[in-house]
Amino acid sequence: MREQNMFFNTLALASGDVDSDGFQDLIVGAPGYSKTKLPQTGKVFTLFAVVDINLDGVLDVAVGAPSHSNDENDPMKYNPDLCRLGTSLGVVDVDGDGHDDLVISDQYYGPTNNQTGVVTALLSRGTYKEQENVTVEGLLEKWKLVGHQDNGWFGASVRGKKGVLMTSEPFYRKCALPSCPLNPKDIQSAGAVSINNIGSKFTLPNMTLNGRDEFDMTGYSVDYGFPYDNSSLILAISVPEAMVYGEILTIPVKLRRAGTVILFNVTKNGLVQVAHFDGDRNLAMFGSFIKFADLNGDGYDDLLIGAPLHSDDWTELIPRFLNIDEDGRLYIFYGGPSFPTGNATYTKECLGFSPCPWKTAGDMIIPVSPKAYIGRVAEVLEYPTLYDNIDWLKSVKKRSMAATSARN
């Protein structure tokens, strides 16, 4: 993609076996797509090798320009400028018919341009024609989730997983007054995340979790999995702008906007915190991307945590705009009996520099070029093993991970 400021796959990267062919499929969005006099109106590239949207059993290919301009040839169209429809994409069975649907968010949506945010869905149907215009207004009439308050950016990130839809609202503010008018005592950008159990077999209740401190952006990324065992459902919530208290050469320091990921055990009596992972650099946005996935095929979910603004300069003496080392990190914490509890990024091996996620992580992905922002988003793709003739490898599913950045 060669369009300027397109931000191709900056945030909108999703995968899922949406056409039931046994393989993971890919959906990519370009929320920064622009045309002349239409800056950053956005574009969604839904590859119909991604969603069998007409249920004919054949992989389809479709290109949507829902927030672009209302050209007659656009398969999906939407009017408002700068609405950024397609900010984030997900796959989940919204209507419970057994077929996955494409979930699309628009974080700037609002009836009066108040940037409340909305999530809607393109439902899988066997009645779609080969060439057919689909209006977003029509999708909103059938199904939608709307943000809780103005300027909250509901839908900045959406993720569908086994019947559960998780939606972030990073600029949600905690109101000082009951009716929630603007007030100087409001806690700005505390953040919130909405979890909707649409049809999951897991006992994950519908809930909305709010942040605590100003500019925390709680819930920027969220996921659930089973890193400890097959019975303990763990919910991971990111707080990428959180203040972290650490040490540099045994001197206590406050790491601004370093970021935290909090893990909760989902029980019948509510959420019980079991672990937290902290970033080790100022402004790193540790946790702006999190994901559970079984990377090594051992039956336990592994935890991926991105820190796209991580810098090797722990002294912070070089201004960020001059620092070429802002390359990012993607940490992998492997699940199993030794998966950490409590303060998961502290160990005696930190040697005076804590927290030290680079020490406690099982693996870490480091980019080879500066300013790569690795860990901005990643996706895990499954493919069958090539060694099916070897008995002890028959049960192993090989996995590859695509780690993308805002730069590429």
298 versus 388: the higher-pLDDT residue is 298
Element containing residue 138 per DSSP (H, E): helix 136-142
72 versus 107: the higher-pLDDT residue is 107
Tell me the pLDDT tens digit for each residue of 318-348. 555 555 566 789 999 999 999 999 999 999 8
Tell me the pLDDT tens digit for each residue of 203-244. 888 999 999 999 999 999 999 999 999 889 999 999 999 999
- Distance (Å, whole) CA 120 – CA 144: 4
Q: What is the DSSP string of 165-217?
A: EEEEETT--B-SSTT----TTSBTT--EEEEEESS-SS----EEEE--STT--
> Considering only the top CATH level, what class is 221-408?
mainly beta
Neighbours of 334 (CB within 10 A): 18
* Apex 18 CA angle, 17 and 19, nearest 5: 95
Residue 390: pLDDT band by 50, 70, 90 thresholds? very low
What is the maximal distance between C-alpha atoms in the chain?
67
pLDDT of residue 59: 54
- Distance (Å, whole) CA 180 – CA 225: 34
- Distance (Å, whole) CA 109 – CA 107: 6
The CA distances from residue 70 to 43, 74, 82, in Å, are 12, 7, 14
CB 86 within 8 A of CB 43: yes
Residue 28: pLDDT band by 50, 70, 90 thresholds? low
Beta-strand relationship, 134-135 and 76-77: parallel
pLDDT of residue 3: 46
Residue 383: pLDDT band by 50, 70, 90 thresholds? low
- Distance (Å, whole) CA 345 – CA 340: 9
pLDDT of residue 229: 93
Q: Is the pLDDT of residue 167 over 70?
A: yes
Tell me the pLDDT tens digit for each residue of 103-118. 888 888 887 668 899 9
The tokens describing 1, both together, are 């993609």
| Lowest mean pLDDT across 174-178, 309-313, 346-350 | 309-313
The tokens describing 289, both together, are 């991307």
Q: Is the pLDDT of residue 352 over 70?
A: yes
pLDDT of residue 99: 85
The tokens describing 265, both together, are 């055990």
Q: What is the DSSP string of 378-402?
A: EEEEEE--S-TTSGGGTTPPEEEEE
pTM, rounded to two decimals: 0.80
CB 86 within 8 A of CB 30: yes
The amino acid present at 288, given as its one-letter code, is S
User: Residue 238's closest CA among 260, 255, 223, 216?
Assistant: 260
DSSP-assigned beta bridge partners for residue 292? 303
User: Residue 357's closest CA among 317, 319, 328, 323?
Assistant: 328
